[in-house]
Amino acid sequence: MFQIEEILNGRKLEGINYFFPLCKVVFEFSGKLIIRFSDCAVMYDSGLIGRTIFYVSTNGSLGPVLALREMSLDPDDYKVLFLCENVREIHDKHEIQILYKTMEISDDDGQSWQMP
């Protein structure tokens, strides 16, 4: 089984497509890698497009959890993906946190993976 950290580390985020009425978000990475998120409730984006990912985590912070609770949603129903260019940078941090229910990854070779 592969790890999302291994797949994304060192890739450049080239684009994000939002489909808000459907609660879907699509990330496009270098190497023709695409990630589709479904049932997205919260996403924080501080300018990561065009930057290279060097930190990937499936642990989030308290902010998105509080946002879910304010929307009367159960945080335990959602998974977290945190992407960052440089996690040690304090002031000029370029990162994305997304809370979602399902994630599918596909590449240019036609391979596709459904993440648990």
What amino acid occupies position 99?
A: L
- Predicted TM-score (pTM) of this structure: 0.84
Percent of the chain past pLDDT 90, that is, above it, reads 38
Residue the block writes with tokens 């990162």 = 95
pLDDT category at 12 given cuts 50, 70, 90 is: very high
pLDDT, tens digit (0-9, with 9 covering 90-100), for 68-88? 899 999 999 999 998 998 877
| Domain residue extents for the chain | 4-103
Model pLDDT, residue 1: 42
**H-helix or E-strand spanning residue 69:** helix 62-70
Model pLDDT, residue 45: 83
Query: Which two tokens mark 51?
Result: 């930057």
Q: Mean pLDDT across the chain, nearest whole number?
A: 85
Average the pLDDT over 21-39 and give the result. Answer: 91
More confident residue, 92 or 45: 45
